[in-house]
Amino acid sequence: MGVSLHKPETIEEAVRLKSEDSEALFLAGGQTLIAMMNAELVEPPALISLDRISDLKGIDRQPDGAIRIGAMTSHADIASSDQLIDAHAVIGGAARVIAHPAIRTLGTIGGAVSHGDPNADYPAALVAADARFEVVGPGGRREIAAADFFLDYMTTELQENELLKAVILPPAPDRSAGHYEKFSRVDGDFATASVAVTLLLDGASKIDWIRIAVGASGPTPARSRSTACRSPAVARTWRRRSGASAWCSRTTPSSRTSACATTSPSA
Ligand SMILES: Cc1cc2nc3c(=O)[nH]c(=O)nc-3n(C[C@H](O)[C@H](O)[C@H](O)COP(=O)(O)OP(=O)(O)OC[C@H]3O[C@@H](n4cnc5c(N)ncnc54)[C@H](O)[C@@H]3O)c2cc1C
C-alpha cells in the first residue's frame, strides 16, 4: 500500500492534517521513522512532513535570556550554536555526541524528543536544563516541563494529535554552567549511560545549586531534584535573588519520587 506525503507550510495546517487522519505520522528528519517503516515496525497511511514549516526551525534568544529551539532544528545546528552557553551548554554538549555527522545533519530535536527513546541524548540534558516543551494540538497550545514529559519507555506526555513546536530553555544565570557526558561502548552509538549537569556558582565560586539527570539507565531520565546548597543562608539568598518558591537544603539524589521536602525552581 502506498504512503501519502503531505507538505504543509504552517503549523496550523500540519495540526489540521493530523487531526483529520490520526494514523498519519509527522515526519521530521526521518532518521528514526523511515528506519522503522523500512523494518515494518510502523505502517502509517500518510506522512506529514514538517520540513517546509519555517516557524519550526532555528534557535532564538528571548529578551529575558530564555532560549527557544524550534522542533525542526537539526542536531548539527544545535551542536554548533554559539547561543548555547552557561547552563544551556548542556544541550549543545548532548547534540555533539549524537550518532554521526550524517544523522546529526538530518535528525531534529523535535523528532528525538517526540520519539522518547530513553537511550537518546537529549532527554537527560533537557531535564537537567529544566526545559519546557511547547506543544500545539487541535485544542490549542500547552507547555510541558521536561521532567514531566518522559513517562515510560518510548512513551511521552505528547498526545496523539499534538505537534511538538519548540523546546524552551529558561534563562541561564551568570556563573551557571552545563555539561553532558555520554558513555557508549561503540563511538557514535546510543548511550550505555549518560549524565547531564547544570549548576550555579556563587560569587565565591562555591556551588549554589546543582541539577543532575542520569540518562539511558531506565525508561526515563532519573532526575536528582536535590540541590546542594552550602548553607541555609545561601538558600535564602538564592530565594531572594530568583524568586524561587523553595529550595532544597540537602542532597538526596533520586528519581522523580524524590523525598525532598522542598523543591527547586525546576520542580
Ligand atoms: C544509526 C543511528 C544512530 C543514532 N544514534 C543516536 C544517538 O547516539 N543518540 C541519540 O540521541 N539519537 C540517536 N539516533 C536517533 C536520531 O537522533 C534521530 O534523529 C532522532 O531520534 C529522530 O529525529 P528525527 O528528526 O529523525 O525524527 P523522525 O524520525 O522523523 O521522527 C521520529 C518520531 O517522532 C515523531 N515526530 C517527529 N517530529 C515531531 C514533532 N515535531 N512533533 C510530534 N511528533 C514528531 C515522528 O512522527 C516519529 O514518530 C540515531 C539514529 C540512527 C538512525
Average pLDDT by stretches of 10, the chain with 267 residues: 93 97 97 96 97 98 96 98 97 97 98 97 98 96 97 96 98 96 92 96 87 95 66 48 36 31 34
Domain-embedded: residue 262 = no
In a domain, 267, yes or no: no
Secondary element (H or E) of residue 223 = strand 222-224
Sorted by sequence, the CB contacts under 8 Å of residue 173 that are 6+ apart come out as 86, 87, 200, 242
φ, ψ at 193 (rounded to 5°):
-160, 155
Residue 35 forms part of a structural domain = yes
Give CA angle at 52 (46, 58), nearest 5°.
125
Task: Work out the number of other CB atoms within 10 angstroms of the CB of residue 40.
Answer: 7
- How many whole angstroms from 111 Cα to the centroid of ligand 1? 4
**pLDDT the model gives residue 187:** 87
Q: Is 39 within the bounds of a domain?
A: yes
**Domain with 119 in it:** 4-169
| 209 phi/psi in degrees, rounded to 5 | -150, 160
Q: Which residue has the cell 552557553?
A: 85
Is 255 contained in some domain?
no
The per-residue pLDDT for 225 is 60
Burial 101-130, CB ≥16 within 10 A → b, else e: eebbebbbbbbbbbbbbbbbbbbbbbbbbb
> For the domain that residue 42 is a member of, what is the CATH number?
3.30.465.10
Find out whether 201 and 208 touch, Cβ atoms under 8 Å.
yes
Q: Is residue 37 a part of any domain in this protein?
A: yes
Closest approach atom of ligand 1 to CA 25: 47
Give me the pLDDT at residue 248, please.
Answer: 34
Would 165 be classed as within a structural domain? yes
For the chain, the domain total comes to 1
Cell matching residue 259 = 523525598
- In total, the chain counts a number of residues equal to 267
Q: H-helix or E-strand containing 232?
A: helix 232-242
Residue 230 is placed in which grid cell?
A: 552550602
Alpha-helical segments (H) within 10-144: 11-20, 33-38, 75-79, 89-96, 101-106, 109-115, 122-128
Total H helices, total E strands in the chain:
9, 14
Give yes or no for residue 112 CB within 6 A of ligand 1.
Answer: yes
Q: How far is the CA of 75 from the centre of ligand 1 (A)?
A: 10
The torsion angles phi and psi of 26, rounded to 5 degrees, stand at -70, 140
User: Tell me, what's the pLDDT at 224?
Assistant: 78
Strand duo 207-215 + 25-27: pairing: unpaired
- For ligand 1, atom 2, name the residue with the nearest CA: 99
Q: Is residue 57 part of a domain?
A: yes
* Spacing, Cα 172 to ligand 1 middle (Å): 27
